[in-house]
Structure 1
């Protein structure tokens, strides 16, 4: 479906849409560049319909779901531009200085927006959860798994209660054995990844506290989260794993780490010295 023009497809099938689907189609056509960065929950709220209506709208056009719809939408926008875009504002005609400036600006904007989205109360509550937890499990799939692994690597230098399974089957099994004394830190840019949502739901059912790091305040993942920390990077459907999104997630994790270290300074400082000494022989 990558070569499908979504605008032609919508217009050609418009008369066969239900009234609800027409509301979605009208909104998409009027807010093309906004929709590409919206979660399914955000679009449903904007159209004043249910998430299931958005899914049916996509299925009516023979698309597998909302994510494929956004991919086709991104391709269609690219086809309309005279100069093809690689991602965001980056085009094939950019010089190295232009490319350097645009990427720098993208990363700065992502960090700035993440900073502006920080809720001090939520962050403080998240730290309390982490300190009081018997075990902390970091979860993510795909590019977000890399971030989850980085989080484990960061925190294991000062505490010995972190876990990060690298397989989705192992993750759901880990979640099924969690208790009310545990914390799940679930990382997902979209908040709509099936495996991640399943893990968060399982952890919640087991009584664990769930902290999510995601782009969207309203998403399927946030429905199972006690605390949602928002990262500020815009990532289009053709930019999966963008570093600006990863940087904003790492910024939040670094903030959690630093505040955790402050509140548990005596213990964390000792552990930091022990773990640093453990690997010193590996260095030249």
Structure 2
């Protein structure tokens, strides 16, 4: 993984935190500019979380302790100050002009891509691509707006291989997952990782022996418990923003990375298949 912004890391792990850890995370995200000047005692007093709890929180972020956490905070803030996309308020207001609104939407999507890029784990990506290459079948799964992303994944891979398949009905999805085997790959897309149907598909696919790739926002969720590889998207989506474009762009970006690496490693066959599929739909154009 790249040098991950510590605030992105907190957001990624947020739904796995305890109640007190979420209180601490909320305070840190709100008062980020002040944290690097606070002692652990000061932070404990202001956040109403004990010093031992703060230390455990730092360890959960993959850091050695509070001092390393403060250094990470300083580095992340410095990165934000040098990143113009983070300095623009992306909250859309009722009195925003069309020009301002368009700019905020653009910056939200750019920021989501930047965060996703920073969360890339190249070892996991390479492992996922190798499994896709050797698989007999690649099955894409998703519910609601994530299903649209899953369909786009199949559309992309179907141009270069006949192994790609997407199941639309949620009942058919779990039935299909129950009959998968160790020669198949399940790519399951869920922003929260907490959608009941997606969790059940992941569980069934895993128990059937399939290799499970989860594309989600949070590294720890009920769905990722069954994943062999978890690919994280960096978009932040509120409870009233289901299916937001920034979340979908982040997911599509990850699918693009998988696709192009697959294409590169199977170049001759993929190039030939792409030419075949292009000719097959040529007559559909006016």
TM-score clears 0.5: yes
CA distance, structure 1, for counterparts of residue 24 and residue 146 of structure 2: 31
**CA RMSD between the two structures:** 2.3
Contact 1:158 1:272 in 2 (8 A): yes
Distance change (3 Å), C-alpha of 1:32 and 1:93 = farther
Distance change (3 Å), C-alpha of 1:277 and 1:238 = same
Q: Deviations over 1:117-155 (max 9, x none)?
A: 111111000000100100111000000000000000000
* Aligned equivalent of 2:237: 235
CA distance, structure 1, for counterparts of residue 263 and residue 143 of structure 2: 27
2:140 counterpart of 1:171: no
Q: Secondary structure at the match of 2:215?
A: strand
Distance change (3 Å), C-alpha of 1:194 and 1:280 = same
* Aligned equivalent of 1:141: 143
Aligned length: 215
* Aligned equivalent of 2:152: 150
Question: Which of these residues, 237, 261, 264, is aligned with residue 263 of structure 2?
Answer: 261
Unaligned runs of 5+ in 2: 1-17, 31-52, 57-88
* Aligned equivalent of 1:31: 26
Contact 2:90 2:107 in 1 (8 A): no
Distance change (3 Å), C-alpha of 1:25 and 1:263 = closer
Contact 1:88 1:236 in 2 (8 A): no
Q: Deviations over 1:40-90 (max 9, x none)?
A: xxxxxx898xxxxxxxxxxxxxxxxxxxxxxxxxxxxxxxxxxxxxx9611
* Aligned equivalent of 1:91: 93
Q: Deviations over 1:81-104 (max 9, x none)?
A: xxxxxx961111111111011101
CA distance, structure 2, for counterparts of residue 178 and residue 210 of structure 1: 11
* Aligned equivalent of 1:13: none
After TM superposition, the structure 1 = structure 2 runs for residues 41-190 of structure 1, keeping only pairs within 5 Å, are 89-190=91-192
Q: Secondary structure at the match of 1:183?
A: strand
CA distance, structure 2, for counterparts of residue 95 and residue 261 of structure 1: 43
* Aligned equivalent of 1:197: 199
Distance change (3 Å), C-alpha of 1:264 and 1:27 = closer
CA distance, structure 1, for counterparts of residue 21 and residue 228 of structure 2: 34
CA distance, structure 2, for counterparts of residue 274 and residue 139 of structure 1: 26
Distance change (3 Å), C-alpha of 1:172 and 1:100 = same
Contact 2:90 2:105 in 1 (8 A): no
CA distance, structure 2, for counterparts of residue 136 and residue 27 of structure 1: 37
Unaligned runs of 5+ in 1: 1-22, 36-45, 49-86
Q: Secondary structure at the match of 1:282?
A: coil
Contact 2:116 2:235 in 1 (8 A): yes
* Aligned equivalent of 1:213: 215
